[in-house]
Amino acid sequence: KNQVEQSPQSLIILEGKNCTLQCNYTVSPFSNLRWYKQDTGRGPVSLTIMTFSENTKSNGRYTATLDADTKQSSLHITASQLSDSASYICVVKGGDYKLSFGAGTTVTVRA
C-alpha cells in the first residue's frame, strides 16, 4: 500500500527561526512529489514540485529536497514569518497518476 508519512505532526517556532519538515514515502513507481501549504479553512496551494532527477528546489524562503533512493523529502522554511503558520502537506504521485497524501505538519509561528 502506498503511504506518505510526515513528521513532526506539529511544531511551534519563534518568528525568524528556521524549521525543517520531513516526508517519507513508499509510493512506487514514483512520478513526482509536491509540497502544499494549507492555511486554516482554505484549500492547499502548491509550493514546490520535484521529479525523480531533482534534489533541491526553492520557492522564496521555502526549500524542498528529495532523496529518491531513500524515498525521503524535506521542506525547509528559512527566517519564518507569522504568515507561515499553516499546515504543510506532502503529496506523492505514483506512476498510475494516483496521489498519496500525507497527514500534514501543522506549523505555528509565534512572535
Choose which of 18, 26, 46, 108 interacts with other proteins (CB under 8 A): 46
Q: Which member of 29, 43, 69, 111 binds other proteins (CB under 8 A)? A: 43
99 forms part of the interface with other proteins (CB under 8 A): yes
Q: Return d(Cα 106, Cα 98) in angstroms, integer.
A: 24
**From the CB of 77, what's the least distance to other proteins, in Å?**
20
Q: Are the CB atoms for 105 and 21 separated by under 8 Å?
A: yes
Distant-in-sequence, close-in-space partners of 91: CB < 8 Å, separation ≥ 6: 4, 33, 34, 35, 36, 99, 100, 101, 102
Q: Which is nearer to other proteins, 69 or 96 (CB)?
A: 96
Which of these segments, 14-22, 36-44, 55-63, 74-82, binds other proteins (CB under 8 A)? 36-44
Minimum CB separation from other proteins for residue 29, in Å?
13
The C-alpha R_g of the chain, in whole angstroms, comes to: 13
- How far is it, in rounded angstroms, from Cα 77 to Cα 107? 10
Binding test (CB under 8 A) with other proteins, winner from 45, 67, 82, 108: 45
- CA 111 – CA 90 distance, rounded (Å): 26
Residues that bind other proteins (CB under 8 A): 31, 34, 36, 41-46, 49, 89, 93, 97-99, 101-104
